[in-house]
Amino acid sequence: MKLVLSLSILISFSLYAQTPDCDQEDNLSKIAKGITYPNCNTPSNVQAFKGRDKSKLCGDCKTDFELVNGKISENKNHVQEEFLHSALNEYKKNITNNLLNSIKMKVLYSTGVKFEKSIQSCKMQTAADFAKSCKSPAAIKLLSQTSFFSDLSKELSNDVAKFLTSDPTFNPKPTLLQRSEQKCSIPEKDVLLMSASSYEEALNEKLIEAIKKFDPKKFKTVSDMFSSDEFLDNYEGDIAELKDSLYNHPLFASHLSSPDKFVSFFKSVPSPANVDNLRKALYSKSNGETFDTELAKSCETSSKVLKDTICSDDFEAGNLFVDPANNFDKLKISMDRPSEETLASTEKLIDSNIKLLELCENVNSNNKKNLSLINSQIGVALTENQKALNLDLFKTEKYNSELGSLTSSLCGMTDATCLAGSISCSIFKKLQDSKKKGTAAAKLAESSNSEVNALLRSMIGDTSKLDAKTKDILIAQGIIPKDNGEVVAQAEVERKPESLPLSNNQQPQNGATLAKAAPSTISNSASTGRNPASSNNTFTDEGYSNANTASSSNTLPDFSDLMDDQQELRGIQDEIKRRLLGMPENRPANLNDAKKIARDSFKSRGRRISPEEETAFANRMMERPEAPVPQTAASTFQNTPANSDNRAAVSGGESANSKWRKGQDQAALMGMAGAQSALSKDSANAPAATDNKPKDMTKVALNIADDPQVTLSDMFNKKIDQNDPETQLLKVLLRNKNNFLLQIKSMNFKIVFDGNNFNLLLESGDRQEAARIRPQLEMFLKKLKR
């Protein structure tokens, strides 16, 4: 019996032993593969070890490799180098985040805060700053070998210039953000501006009042709150869109860190919680100070952790744990890893593995500086997802999340596909509307944001090695001073929401001008950069210094359309006035200057003007941005490819006049009839106003179609609506009371001003026909003059 029992037990054991293991074959093949190819440095291997016990890569795999290739010791220098490389990249990521938030502040209303803390804490650090009182000679040596800091300064400057320019052809290198190609071009500042405004307006009164009543303790995260029934019942839009939007708003972001903070902020919004009151709370001084404090904290913490780490005794001693499996993507070796195919049984395999395994620690890592931890502390302002990305990927993703995806979406959007109620549709509409009205926006456009400029200046640091074009943009924006130390002056206006209440059609901005006219025929004016209403609903933009060559044959847009950036423009305008009228460069063009310009200009032509005339002339120069003088300038800028030469004059270019002439020549070559005439008067606008000789007058040809079905009045009204280039030129001439010649069909009229009124005189052509069209024509011109 015992025998049978034993036998049965034995049989069952043997049967158990034979039970097939469904995964056995796989495991065996994996082991076999590992023995045949002891390659730890494959993406799949590194990926497989990611997040697991750190001993796996530096233990099991390393042991397998050492069995074949001999012992690999930890390489202190290599570890230090990789550690520093990764930590510096994380530092750059954090700076990118800080810069972007600061740039956004430039286009928003003012909070009245001077950013004193941030200016101090976010000041550009150099290698020398880090090396100062640094205990680690190894760190000092490594820092001296890297161009990280000089590159960083350049990247920051280029990014600021790229954000603020309207020139789509301006793509400076290197930059912090990796921009992908877009289907159309919309100035980045416009996207930032319009989106921030739309985000604010997305929060309706009903929702804000509801949030005020929320009990924050009910929610673990802000996302939980957003997806709660209480929230959803009060918000008709898409909460994903709303949340993303609020995260992208620099003054909201800090309130999204916890439900408590979120609710607290909304409780500070006065009732009724409409958008105006929301903006009061958002742009309040205390909220501005919160922004300043957090930005300063981010800058300070980031650089302090970096410095404390690399200058520590631990760094010097090599007590560093780079955790190669988890940080692989952030290491230098990851960038030059050969492909898996190349690696098989070659020397590269051995080298590559040695390089990786040299980073493995041999002793307990608890007392070492842990790269993962340090990186997380350096990237203090980054989200967990952003922290996980290596620098290259971060640069792409950050661009896409802040600008790229939205721009792409706006490029493809039409009135038909614009989904009412969505935030992106609201941004789209704002971009469309921005060209129509601009009164309040214009004030903001020309206003100074000296506080943010000071912050940006502090962040940029050394500007001695900047490219000319970048430098010019930053100078014109008042961010960095000219070579002589002078900062381009910008008008000071109260940049508060209550003093500049904007409708949905009017946006706050600084450093950006909302174009006034939006002729659908203009495809190459700066205005179209923010004008999706062009015939194919795509955005094109040339703005600041466009090299527009393709479609500018008959384009002479309104002056304000030509230059997106009023601040930039003002600097250029000043220089143009000086150059045209013989003023010394780099001298402020205020009212007194303008009077002197007028006086000198006339004097040089052997004429004298009365003090009244002098004042009138000066006022005209100072008060009318669309005056023909700057228009001439703008035309030149618009049509001068890569005209950094012209802009160089802003900072005191030496051959300004010759370049100016060159610009005119180019404009003439573009075949701009009206522009050519206007340009031909570059000997100043003042004489044009007093000298009525026909040969000096601008000639405008007005195209009127012969259509018996359409009345003359309708035809003229259509012209006004279309606001085509000729109409725009007429507007400029009429509003500046310039005498000019007008050709309609075979008739030539002369428009001569007498004070505020003009006389319409027939110079040549069919008298009867002229008499017939005169009433409508006069009406048309009067409308344009208004």
Partner 1 sequence: MRFAFLGFIIMFSLVVHAQEADCETETEKELKPMIEVAAVAVDATEEPACPNPKKLRGLCMYVGSKEKDTQMNSRKYVWGYQRRLFEAACVDINKDSDAVIASKVQKAWNENEAMLKCKSTQFDITDGSILKYAVNMKFEEFLIDAVRWKIELNKVDQADGATVLDYIKMQIERNKGLPSEPYLKSYYDMLKKAGAKHKSEL
Residue 262 CB, shortest distance to partner 1, in Å, is 14
- Closer Cβ to partner 1, 418 or 621, answer by number: 418
- Cβ closer to partner 1: 244 or 613? 244
- Least distance between partner 1 and beta carbon 249 (Å): 10
Smallest distance, partner 1 to C-beta of residue 130, A: 27
DSSP string, 250-270: TTTGGGGS-HHHHHHHHHTSP
Say if CB 436 and CB 518 are below 8 A apart: yes
**Interatomic CA distance for residues 396 and 334, integer angstroms:** 18
For the CB of residue 717, give the shortest distance to partner 1 in the complex, in Å.
36
CB neighbour list of residue 316: distance below 8 Å, 6 or more residues apart: 135, 136, 137, 138, 139
Peptide bond into 259 cis (omega under 30): no
Under 8 Å between Cβ of 340 and 388: no
Q: Pick between residue 2 and residue 71 the one whose CB is nearest to partner 1.
A: 2
User: Quick one: 401 or 615, whose CB is closer to partner 1?
Assistant: 401
* Least spacing, CB of residue 167 vs partner 1, in Å: 22
One-letter-per-residue 3-state SS of 26-88: HHHHHHHHHHHCCCCCCHHHHHHHCCCCCHHHHHHHHHHHHHHHCCCCCCHHHHHHHHHHHHH
Distance CA 474, CA 409 (A): 29
User: Which CB sits closer to partner 1, 233 or 654?
Assistant: 233
- Tell me how far, at minimum, the Cβ of 3 lies from partner 1, in Å: 9
Task: Enumerate binding residues for partner 1 (CB under 8 A).
Answer: 1, 4-5, 8-9, 11-12, 15-16, 19-20, 22, 178, 180-181, 195, 220-221, 223-224, 226-227, 229, 232, 237-241, 243-245, 248, 385, 390, 392-393, 395-397, 400-401, 404-406, 408-409, 412-413, 417-419, 422-425, 427
Instruction: Enter the tokens of residue 632.
Output: 């001439």
Instruction: Kindly state the smallest distance separating residue 425's Cβ from partner 1, in Å.
Output: 7
| Pick 239 or 616: Cβ nearer partner 1 | 239
Q: Decide whether 69 or 400 has the Cβ nearer to partner 1.
A: 400
Secondary structure letter of residue 125 according to DSSP = P
Largest CA distance in the chain: 138
The set of residues, in sequence order, having a beta carbon less than 8 Å from that of 601 and lying 6+ positions away, is 581, 582, 684, 686, 687
H runs (alpha helix) in 215-363 = 222-226, 229-232, 239-248, 259-267, 275-282, 285-310, 313-317, 324-327, 332-335, 340-343, 347-357
Please identify which residue in the block is written with the tokens 């019996």: 1
For tokens 């959803």, name the residue: 232
Identify whether 174 is preceded by a cis peptide bond (ω within 30 of 0): yes
Is residue 402 within 8 Å of 341, Cβ to Cβ? no
Minimum distance, C-beta of residue 12 to partner 1, in the bound complex (Å): 4
Burial readout 341-368 (b: 16 or more C-beta within 10 A, e: otherwise): eebeeeeebbebbbbbbbbbbeeebeeb
Q: Sort strands 757-764 and 320-321 into parallel, antiparallel or unpaired.
A: unpaired
**Of 16 and 606, which has the nearer Cβ to partner 1?**
16
Of 201 and 238, CB closest to partner 1: 238
In this structure, how many other beta carbons lie within 10 angstroms of the beta carbon of residue 252? 19
Of 452, 498, 579, nearest to 163 (Cα)? 452
Compute the distance between CA of residue 457 and CA of residue 461 in angstroms, rounded to an integer.
Answer: 6
Q: State the nearest-atom distance from the C-beta of 670 to partner 1, in Å.
A: 33
Q: What tokens does 689 get?
A: 């106003």
Count Cα atoms within 13 angstroms, Cβ side, for 8: 4
Nearer CB in complex with partner 1: 92/368: 92
CB contact at 8 A, 158 and 174: yes
CB of 42 to partner 1, least distance (A): 14
Beta carbon of residue 595, minimum distance to partner 1 (angstroms, whole number): 49
Choice between 94 and 248, CB closer to partner 1: 248
Q: Look up residue 775 and give its two tokens.
A: 């009433």
Closest CB 34 distance from partner 1, rounded Å: 23
Nearest-approach distance from CB 20 to partner 1, in angstroms: 6
Torsion angle in degrees (nearest 10) through CA of 127, 129, 133, 134: -30
Q: Which is nearer to partner 1, 370 or 408 (CB)?
A: 408
* Nearer CB in complex with partner 1: 392/492: 392
- Of the pair 390, 727, the CB lying nearest partner 1 is at 390
Q: How far is the CB of 189 from partner 1 (least distance, A)?
A: 16
